Homo-oligomer: A and B are copies of this chain.
């Protein structure tokens, strides 16, 4: 088993954007910058740092410009920074920064698309193309997220056909990478293997990323399935930062530490120092003043607590 796993994968850290945007309490811009620096210090090669959506939609990320000005030149030159750009207005703000990559997003289900951005899938593709065209003309690398690829909170299971069509349209726009999202964390390995095997042909494994949520505990089983199918790019979030909007109290994004722990255990290189990543996770807990759901992080902190208790007793 596992003879043909990729020897190296790319992990895309989405915590500072996908994670923080779900935080009700405003995080200070300098804290966000420090968090991103700590994440980069762990060896993470690609970090989505913010979003240029309307500050009215997501007040938490209203400081996108300021944050980019604060943090971009402090990161190692080889770190790919990226930001979500929903429209041309957002792109104008994005262009004032040194962020290196434009990230686009849309849904694979009509109902989710309507509820989320008030556009049909076709309308969303038109809006995406506007941004993709100028971004590519300006020489940017472009990544596209397709959300609710496996299961939709309104429509249930999504068949692969509309996903394939959407990916075809995205490839026509010359996007460099497509990230398939299990937005509500309901995918199981059989479904993942079906979709990935189909899309590996259409999109190509080099351009395909997987973005799992751990809402039902299956994120790493789904990653394993993707790995076995040859996928080499996985999204995750420091400490599992970011809840799931459809299930309060439930876990959202797959935690980066959990992902890195499993990959290193499979001899798959990530370029990441897990100890430094845990340090970044501890810092995130400190600035957010709460525990994060990531399991590896919890286990580390639990062991530390145990050691401290023992030392206290020994004194």
Contacts and interface: CB of A to CB of B under 8 A. Distances in A.
A207 interface: no
A1 B295 contact: no
Contact of A1 (B193, B250, B255): B193
Interface residues of A, number: 51
A250 B295 contact: yes
A188 interface: yes
A151 to B, nearest CB: 10
A249 to B, nearest CB: 4
A302 interface: yes
Contacts of A306: 246-248
Copies of this chain held together in the complex:
2
Contact of A221 (B191, B262, B294, B299): B262
A218 interface: yes
A247 B246 CA distance: 30
Interface in A216-231: 216-221, 223-225, 228-229
A303 B244 CA distance: 10
A224 B229 CA distance: 14
A267 B214 contact: no
A298 interface: yes
Interface of A: 1-2, 185, 187-191, 193, 197, 214-221, 223-225, 228-229, 244, 246-251, 254-255, 258, 261-262, 264-267, 291, 294-296, 298-303, 305-306
25 contacts: A187-B265, A188-B261, A188-B262, A188-B266, A189-B265, A189-B266, A190-B266, A214-B295, A215-B299, A216-B258, A216-B262, A216-B299, A217-B219, A217-B254, A217-B262, A224-B225, A244-B299, A247-B299, A247-B300, A247-B303, A247-B306, A248-B302, A248-B306, A249-B291, A249-B305
